[in-house]
Amino acid sequence: MDYSLGAVKLTCAQLKSVRQISHSQNSYTLGTLLFQRAWLQGILVSTPASAVGGRFLLDDGTGLIELAGEVQNRPLDIGAYLMVVGVYVARENDLPIIKVHKIVDLSMHPYREAMWYLEVIEAFKLFYQPVVNTGKEKHAHIW
């Protein structure tokens, strides 16, 4: 894990466009933007207790992602609005996973969801879009 790479604020829809770097198990690119960790927010729509064979699933409004890791040790209710940061892992024929190392329940904060979309748009326009749209750099680090 390269901790000099910051966690990028993305949506599940944006994660569908990433490509895994062939020589690295946990590194991905979005254009030329290099990352290992993703920062997402969304509503918890499934827990292991909610169904047989259930798993922790987060819906960010653009898609679903499975949560693993730190989330296993927390009492979470379906419908909670969560911020998660962790290692992104793409899987073939299944939902991608975030191996969570930071999780915050933001359910008590009004306007959290609307503000999140604005944060993602702002981060993309200010930091990611210039890197994603240029082919000049091999890989750019986001700090």
Tell me what percent of the residues of the chain surpass a pLDDT of 70: 84
Classify residue 118 as exposed, middle or buried by CB count within 10 Å of its CB (0-12, 13-18, 19+): exposed
Confidence of residue 143 (pLDDT cuts 50, 70, 90): very low
With a CB cutoff of 8 Å and minimum separation 6, the contacts of 6 are: 35, 37, 141, 142, 143
pTM of the model: 0.81
Please report the pLDDT score of residue 136 as a whole number: 47
For residue 91, is it left (φ>0), alpha (ψ between -120 and 50) or beta?
A: beta
| CATH code for residues 8-117 | 2.40.50.140
Residue 140 has pLDDT above 80, yes or no: no
